[in-house]
Amino acid sequence: MRLSPKQSTLLVLAVLMIASPFFFPSNYYYRVGSLVFVNSIAVVGIVILTGYAGQISLGHAGFLGIGGYACALLPAHFGLPPALAVVAGAALSGAIAYVVGRPILKLKGYYLAVATLGFGVLVSMVLANEGWLTGGPDGIKVPDPGLRALLEQVGIELTNPQFWYAFCGLVLFIGAWLALNLRESPTGRALRALHGSEVAARTAGIDVAKAKLNAFVISAVYASVAGSLLALQNRLITPDVAGFMHSIELVTMAVLGGAGSVLGGIFGAALLTLLPQVLTVLQDYEHVVLGLVMMLVMIFLPAGLIPSARRLLRGRGE
């Protein structure tokens, strides 16, 4: 039986998620693993926006901030259970993306980049400056969602890092599945078409503005969920999450791994999350090596790691 690209991607993902813990020497690695997953969720959103639809956002960390602070503020002020706050935060992020996206998605290329950058800066400024609500630059505490306790009641006992590894892994798996469904669907094809040629996409009857807005809203929801999961497992959220550097990091992860491919995006997220941990042995030279790796990849594998590797393998096979 031949696996479709979607099935093989999901299979690779599942195997890596389940097999990795067998090589974890300590609980700390679960923690790093769940960080990889959280970043990957946001990056899969970027893959939809940038890889499929060809639109750039340098402000997506703003949606991580919205999702994260929703988990702190909604339970505190409205008594919403933290798990439901994830959903409410995602809905809020989607709604904000809809309102913000309508005017700014008319912009193209670097104009769009600057406009989204402005949005991200705006969100992180509000989060840092409105101390009465958000706790200011020091951040704010996030309540325990109580999901682990729920599992304990049915006899599944996990340490805290183990639980978050499993939970974030599950969410990422679902997120990847949705993104892969989208890719081969009419909506996803419309996105990839307008990436190739907007004028031809229009001629085929595609409402380009609406299609871009779809991608922007979907990717905002991914980012929001990632932000929520980050806040819930850290039990704390600070405005840094929504910061400019974080937005850049997300885009870099997607581009490095291969923005057009879900697996590529996840691989990029894993690489840029793990590499700094590994490179700490180099101490002062950590950032130099990190920068060097990124430059070399872009020079020699401009399509990103995974798509380039695929092309290489296919070339051998023929």
Partner 1 sequence: MSLLQVEGLGISFGGVTAVNDVSFGLETGKIVSVIGPNGAGKTTLFNMISGVYLPKSGRVRLDGEDVTGLRPDLLAVRGMSRTFQNLQIFHEMSVLENVIVGFHMHERGPVLADLFGLPGSRRRARAAAEGARVLLERVGLERAAEREAGALSYGALKRLEIARALAARPRVLLLDEPAAGCNAVETEEIDRLICEVAKTGVAILLVEHDMKLVMRLSDTIVVLDHGEKIAEGDPALVSRDPKVIEAYLGAGTTEALHAHG
Q: Which residues bind partner 1 (CB under 8 A)?
A: 178, 181-182, 184-190, 192-193, 195-197, 199-208, 214, 218, 260
CB nearer partner 1, residue 52 or residue 69 = 52
Shortest distance in whole angstroms from residue 179 CB to partner 1: 8
- 53 vs 232, which CB is nearer to partner 1? 53
DSSP string computed for 277-298 = HHHGGGGGGHHHHHHHHHHHHH
Q: Contact, 41 vs 254, CB < 8 A?
A: no
Q: Which is nearer to partner 1, 224 or 233 (CB)?
A: 224
Compute the least distance from the CB of residue 204 to partner 1, in Å.
Answer: 5
Backbone φ/ψ region at 86: left (φ over 0), alpha (ψ -120 to 50), beta? alpha
Q: Smallest distance, Å, CB 151 to partner 1?
A: 26
**Nearer residue to partner 1 within complex by CB, 59 or 260:** 260
**What CA–CA distance (Å, rounded) separates 214 from 208?**
10
- 3-class DSSP state of 156: coil
C-beta closer to partner 1: residue 179 or 250: 179
Least distance to partner 1, CB of residue 207, Å: 5
User: Strands (DSSP E) along 8-88, which ranges?
Assistant: none
For the four alpha carbons of 81, 85, 88 and 90, in that order, the dihedral sign comes to: negative
Residues in CB range of 173: below 8 A, 6 or more apart: 10, 13, 14, 17
What's the min distance (Å) between Cβ of 310 and partner 1? 13
DSSP 8-state class, residue 237: E
